[in-house]
Structure 1
Amino acid sequence: MAVQTLTAPAPQLVDEAALLVREIEQYLAARVRATAHPLLTKTTAELIAEALGATPASAAPGAAPVLTAPPRALRILPDWVLNFPLLRQLHGGGRRISVAEHLELTALVIERYGWHRGALRSASGRRCILGAQAVLFRLGYGDEATALAAGHRLQAVLTLRGITEPYPHWNDAPHRTRDEVLALVRTAATDARQADR
């Protein structure tokens, strides 16, 4: 067995990984803005501009962030590259997220990278459900307990539908579609959010 030496990723790959982290952070910030009281979602500059009757240059509160597809180099990064401490620290290290947020971000990763069956990822960077969860975990969004709880939520939705096979196997079924996968993940996210209330 050959020993693989890990070298730091090229600066371009670090920049592209930062793009994914920025998109995740924008998504999480938009979720907070959409559910928080309007006064709590505004910056000081926005409050001052509003008080003076001016229109702030920033986007309207609660507006969804504009997300772009990740560059090809980021989509094809090997998963082990995401384990570098530098990439995990691009957003300040590990970040606690809820199970619902983990599932919503899992859907976001599948939407951005594309969906895959038969392996965690394809050569072009498309991800299955488990592969999308792994990206989040490796970037420090949530911990192992969050990912496991999200898996239990996914499995619970399938069980309610009378499906007993594990969700990774369900994902890999030959007739499975991307839309079915996204619907499962989003249903599990909704269930998790309602359970947290």
Structure 2
Amino acid sequence: MTKTLRIDSSIKGDASISKRLTDKIVERIGGDVTARDATAIPAIDGAWIGAAYTPADQRSDEQKELLALSDELIAELKAADTIVIGCGVYNFGVTGPLKHWIDMVCRVGETFRYTDAGPEGLAGPKRVIIAYSSGGVPQGSAFDFATPYIKQVLGFIGITDVTVVAAEGVNLDEAAAIAKAETQIIELAA
């Protein structure tokens, strides 16, 4: 059975349009679903970075504890065949919680490594579907910093199969924006 990792990152909870879209996407593609609410993921800090760059066999118990959530999130990522990312756009970019998830899963030696030829992603191949929602920023426009950022980060860790389902302009015409996104969801291969 296909394993799907669902990541919701909106601070709006059940009122979130990106969360409603991830509901519909997961329903469409099916599989064994692991759900992760990124709003519960803390920001990384200097101690976390120190732990991440300490060789695993030299980490203190405190450093291991600092990395425990990151280890869990990376295991979820690696186990998934498909990743569905709810991406509401706040101030032209990704939400803070989504950035926290990204910071936790981008770890040297785990999801990427440095080589003489440059960085090499270790997390792919995977299929990713981004559920993009914005009040007024058209997906793919010059003001959309969220989509290119997510694609760059995913490519860095070795994931390049990315599809975007967009409900854009929800502050202008919410019903039309959601209807457009729902049409895109229907067209997704299961």
- Structure 1 length as normaliser, TM-score? 0.31
Q: Which structure features the higher share of strand residues?
A: 2
RCO higher in 1 or 2 (8 Å CA, sep ≥ 6)?
A: 2
